[in-house]
């Protein structure tokens, strides 16, 4: 039998840039099919609010995808991105310093003709398109959800970047009027999409036969566990296997599949004939549950109030310390200094709570809420 564990979040102790998103009273929609391989998801985590309301996070027993089974509607997310995400002072309004990205380096390594027509889904400020330009490509296009970033990207990369939603079929029809593309890429976008299949729907439409699609998204095995469990804007987390299933279901043939930092990357070619269906032994959810239970320090969370902390980046540093009231800030920061880790941390105050039968991790709180930044 699988281990079960219950924890109560009593206080968002030190969110360090994250904010609470209240979901109490928000209508939730449910979908328990894995978007990558269509297998039924198993409930891995259930959020239970005293004031009423439940929400589940599922894990795929076939391909090790993880994502919310219950979540607010697509319209809710559109509103969220328009009103909260893009106006948030914690999200930088200016492009970060230009740094070569390994996804683009991998594309450049393919030595594709520099006359190729290139499209980026989710350009941000245009750093990646700019890297493509520096790599010799000049026919650069893209789409970006935020109007001011679309404008910034157009300038930064001398590219034709439109403002819009790539999951909208009308938008795809407009893009196709620019002609078919030979390279489509996307970094850190699919995990935010209500339906990640929409990225492949659109990419299949605008890529010519034999064209290359390159996608990078968070790696479910490397992303910090609280990010997968509690960070609402990341609706999905992927394994190498789930990317491969997803690509194959659209008739893409995988050229390379690898991990970079906290991400997984697939580079695939569009084929005309549907690729052979992947047949695989189900991966099971044990590996995912073990990661989450270990990083969540479940064996160290007891009946007394405890501060659970984790590293902001995916370095897997997590820990707990006994709650000592007003001494907490001192203990918290000295604990970090003692570990000599020059990283930033987040922490929440938790204590042990009843486990539910059949649910590996139950997370209780007074009101249904998650986090965003």
Closest C-alpha to 187, from 260, 269, 81? 260
Burial classification of residue 51, based on how many CB atoms lie within 10 Å of its CB (0-12 exposed, 13-18 middle, 19 or more buried):
exposed
Q: How many CA atoms lie within 13 A of 273 on its CB side?
A: 3
Out of 7, 23, 44, 62, name the contact with Zn ion by CB under 5 A: 62
Minimum distance from CB of 283 to Zn ion (Å)? 9
Site for Zn ion in 159-178 (CB under 5 A): none
* Nearer of residues 70 and 144 to Zn ion, judged by Cβ: 70
Minimum distance from CB of 227 to Zn ion (Å)? 20
DSSP letter at 84? I
Minimum distance from CB of 328 to Zn ion (Å)? 40
Minimum distance from CB of 56 to Zn ion (Å)? 16
347 DSSP β-pair partners: 14, 309
Counting contacts by CB under 5 A, is residue 63 touching Zn ion?
A: yes
Alpha-carbon gap, residue 32 to 69, rounded angstroms: 5
Alpha-carbon gap, residue 325 to 348, rounded angstroms: 13
Minimum distance from CB of 269 to Zn ion (Å)? 22
Residues 6+ apart with CB under 8 A from 132: 104, 107, 108, 118, 120, 140, 157
Name the token pair of 329. 């800030």
Residues touching Zn ion: how many (CB under 5 A)?
8
* Nearer of residues 220 and 363 to Zn ion, judged by Cβ: 220
Counting contacts by CB under 5 A, is residue 237 touching Zn ion?
A: no
Minimum distance from CB of 242 to Zn ion (Å)? 5
* Nearer of residues 222 and 236 to Zn ion, judged by Cβ: 236
* Nearer of residues 125 and 221 to Zn ion, judged by Cβ: 221
Site for Zn ion in 85-144 (CB under 5 A): none
Which range in 65-73, 102-110, 139-147, 171-179 contacts Zn ion by CB under 5 A? 65-73
Minimum distance from CB of 63 to Zn ion (Å)? 3
Counting contacts by CB under 5 A, is residue 59 touching Zn ion?
A: no
Counting contacts by CB under 5 A, is residue 65 touching Zn ion?
A: yes
Alpha-carbon gap, residue 242 to 252, rounded angstroms: 13
Counting contacts by CB under 5 A, is residue 60 touching Zn ion?
A: yes
Alpha-carbon gap, residue 172 to 206, rounded angstroms: 7
* Nearer of residues 36 and 153 to Zn ion, judged by Cβ: 36
Minimum distance from CB of 289 to Zn ion (Å)? 15
Whether residue 356 contacts residue 6, with contact meaning beta carbons closer than 8 Å, is answered with yes
Closest C-alpha to 91, from 191, 301, 233, 271? 233
> Left, alpha or beta for 316 (phi > 0: left; psi -120 to 50: alpha)?
left
Counting contacts by CB under 5 A, is residue 66 touching Zn ion?
A: no
Minimum distance from CB of 67 to Zn ion (Å)? 10
Whether residue 285 contacts residue 59, with contact meaning beta carbons closer than 8 Å, is answered with yes
Closest C-alpha to 332, from 350, 319, 317, 315? 319
Counting contacts by CB under 5 A, is residue 243 touching Zn ion?
A: no
Q: How many CA atoms lie within 13 A of 201 on its CB side?
A: 16
Name the token pair of 228. 């997968």
* Nearer of residues 63 and 152 to Zn ion, judged by Cβ: 63
Cα dist. 228→58, 115, 220, 295 in Å? 11, 39, 7, 11
Site for Zn ion in 20-39 (CB under 5 A): 34, 36-37, 39
* Nearer of residues 9 and 190 to Zn ion, judged by Cβ: 190
Site for Zn ion in 39-58 (CB under 5 A): 39
* Nearer of residues 252 and 364 to Zn ion, judged by Cβ: 252
* Nearer of residues 43 and 306 to Zn ion, judged by Cβ: 43
Minimum distance from CB of 247 to Zn ion (Å)? 13
Binding site for Zn ion (CB under 5 A): 34, 36-37, 39, 60, 62-63, 65
């Amino acid at each position: 039998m699988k281990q079960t564990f219950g924890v109560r979040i009593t206080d968002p102790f030190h969110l360090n840039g994250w904010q609470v998103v209240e979901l109490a009273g928000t209508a939730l929609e449910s979908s328990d099919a894995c978007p990558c391989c269509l297998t039924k998801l198993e409930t891995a985590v259930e959020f239970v609010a005293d004031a009423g309301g439940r929400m589940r996070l599922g894990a795929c027993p076939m391909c090790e995808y993880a994502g919310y089974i219950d979540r607010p509607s697509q319209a809710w997310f559109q509103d969220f991105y328009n009103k909260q995400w893009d106006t948030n002072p914690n999200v930088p309004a200016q492009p970060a310093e230009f740094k070569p990205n390994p996804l683009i380096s991998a594309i450049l390594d393919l030595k594709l003709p520099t006359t190729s027509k290139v499209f980026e889904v989710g350009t941000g400020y245009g750093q990646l398109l700019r890297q493509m330009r520096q790599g010799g490509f000049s026919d650069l296009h893209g789409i970006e959800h935020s109007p001011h970033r679309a404008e910034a990207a157009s300038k930064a990369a001398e590219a034709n970047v439109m403002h819009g939603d790539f999951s909208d079929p009308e938008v795809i029809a407009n893009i196709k009027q620019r002609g078919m593309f030979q390279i489509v890429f996307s970094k850190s976008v699919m995990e935010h999409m209500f339906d990640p299949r929409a990225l492949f729907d659109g990419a299949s439409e605008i890529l010519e036969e034999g064209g290359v699609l390159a996608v990078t998204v968070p790696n479910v095995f490397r992303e910090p566990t609280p990010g997968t469990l509690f960070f609402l804007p990341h609706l999905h987390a992927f394994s190498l296997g789930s990317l491969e299933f997803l690509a194959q279901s659209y008739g893409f043939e995988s050229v390379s599949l690898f991990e970079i930092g906290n991400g997984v990357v697939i580079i695939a070619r569009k084929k005309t004939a549907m690729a052979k269906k992947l047949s695989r032994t189900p991966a099971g959810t044990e590996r995912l549950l073990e990661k989450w239970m270990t990083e969540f320090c479940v064996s160290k969370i007891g009946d007394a109030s405890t501060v659970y902390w984790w590293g902001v980046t995916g370095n897997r540093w997590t820990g707990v310390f006994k709650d000592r009231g007003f001494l907490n800030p001192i203990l918290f920061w000295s604990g970090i200094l003692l570990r000599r880790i020059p990283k930033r941390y987040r922490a929440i105050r938790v204590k042990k709570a009843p486990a539910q039968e059949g649910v590996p991790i139950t997370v209780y709180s007074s009101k249904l809420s998650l986090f965003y930044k």
